[in-house]
Structure 1
Amino acid sequence: MRRVLVTRPEPGASETAARLIEMGFEPLVLPLTETVPLHPAIATEQVDVVAVTSPNAIRHAPQSVFDALKGRPVFAVGRRTGEAVRLAGLNLVDDEAGDAERLAARIDAAFTAPAHVTVLCGRVRRDVLETRLLAAGHRPRLIEIYDTLLLEPSDAAIQSVIGEWPVDDVLLYSANGAEQLRRSMARSGMGTKLAAATFYCLSERIAGVLGQDVAKTARIADFPSEDRLLFLLKT
């Protein structure tokens, strides 16, 4: 049975582990980041459309945010985010983008500039979405819902998860997670356990954080979603 290291934060890590078990893999859950709420306040301002960049932006949002945005059209970055939007009772109209670039393009295609775009996002992020929206003449307003903290598992914690046997595969979902993995591999015996592993990444950018040697052999999902990443894993 192939042993697969899952590095994403909870509760997503356990959700992924359950999917891996159903697929016949042995998951090794070692979150390298965690998300925490920021408890933002939301002022009453004009809102034409809402953009949501992660399920965490829904998971950590206070009810006041949902109340303020009720009925507004919501564009989610992907299907998992879209499902979180639906469960929160918001008006999901699109969850097919897959990444920030395409999310901005889909909003721009649906709304004439200047549209007032309320973006529910994390404090740690790339500025792609707001930059693209501004370039297209829209007026994004960012509401930082959560922060991403880096985790530094001890050597003992790593050992308790990985055990004595080599790891066959590693799933990487973010550049922050990849950076923490690189550091852990450098300072502990983890590097030896992952020496022959295949790294599965949501993007080339994530693979690049691990260094050129890994990036050359990493497998990159053809679309930035977990469904495509797990499909790649089983092929």
Structure 2
Amino acid sequence: MAEAPPRGVLVTRPEPGCAETAAAVARLGWQPVLAPALRLRPRALTVAPVQAMLITSRAAAPALPLGPPVFAVGEASAAQARAHGHTRVTAAGGDAAALLALVRARLRPADGPLLLAVGQGYAMDLAQALRSAGFIVLRRLAYAAEPAATMPAAAQAALYNDLVSQALFLSPRSAACCITQLRDAGLAARVASIRAIAISPRVAQVLADLPWRGIEVASRPDHDTMLQLLGPHR
């Protein structure tokens, strides 16, 4: 019988969300190793009247003013918007293409501008696609994402002692920041025994800079599909 892999799973997702992912990983029988690669800080938004607000991350939900309907990229971000008092919330299928299709099916450019609440550097392609479809898009920063200064000492120790066999990555930027942290800590070579699980092909492209044991991409760009790919510890 093959020996079971080490139970450690590197969780690079920032809060809000890191604790949720860690709990889900633990329910599958793994040991979450917390290493949020980014720190998110909400920013207050003040905007002109819009017909609807769009979010591509749950981190943007706290910044949204109450009133207009919310179109969220997926169920997790929709739930976060509802938790902050929004009652008219519609979830797309989990990625920017699905959100674009939803907006084009439900809204008309003539009915007014759209607020696209994002983090710095995110959703520029979505904004351009919406503008190409005739919408006026107010792309505004709803939160600042800053790289964590270092990887937590406990995570570094787990990697150094080969206690980690899996790693979860949910965004290109968090993947890039984690790679920087691994290199700064002298741990880049340790990933040769770790399977990296990416939420999308774009994330996998960033991860290719290090010699992982393997890089697998979720068939759908959402949290639950990533966890299915991780599977239970055996």
Aligned residue number for residue 30 of structure 2 = 25
Shift in CA distance, 11/161, structure 1 to aligned 2, threshold 3 Å: farther
Does residue 170 in structure 1 map to residue 167 in structure 2?
Answer: yes
Question: Higher mean Cα deviation, 208-217 or 221-230?
Answer: 208-217
Match of 2:15 among 2, 10, 17: 10
Match of 1:211 among 193, 197, 208: 208
1: distance between equivalents of 2:152 and 2:79? Answer: 36
Aligned residue number for residue 138 of structure 1 = 135
Q: Is the Cα–Cα contact under 8 Å of residues 155 and 188 in structure 1 kept in the other structure? A: no
Question: What do the CA deviations read for 1:158-211 (whole angstroms, capped 9, x no partner)?
Answer: 434545234200000111111122223333342243211110001111111122
TM-score scaled to structure 2, two decimals?
0.87
Aligned length: 226
CA drift of 1:26 comes to 0.6
Query: 1 or 2 for the larger relative contact order (CA 8 Å, sep ≥6)?
Result: 2
Aligned residue number for residue 225 of structure 1 = 222
Aligned residue number for residue 39 of structure 1 = 44
Amino acid at match of 1:77: V
CA drift of 1:214 comes to 5.2
Shift in CA distance, 213/21, structure 1 to aligned 2, threshold 3 Å: closer
1: distance between equivalents of 2:16 and 2:100? Answer: 27
Aligned residue number for residue 61 of structure 2 = 58
Aligned residue number for residue 80 of structure 1 = 76
Contiguous gaps of at least 5 residues in structure 2: 1-5
Match of 1:112 among 85, 103, 108: 108
Contiguous gaps of at least 5 residues in structure 1: none
1: distance between equivalents of 2:167 and 2:65? Answer: 36
TM-score scaled to structure 1, two decimals?
0.86
Percent identical: 28
CA drift of 1:212 comes to 6.0
Question: What do the CA deviations read for 1:88-139 (whole angstroms, capped 9, x no partner)?
Answer: 2213342123112221221011122234211222223140221111000011
Give RMSD over aligned pairs. Answer: 2.3
Shift in CA distance, 51/230, structure 1 to aligned 2, threshold 3 Å: same
SS, match of residue 65 in structure 2: helix
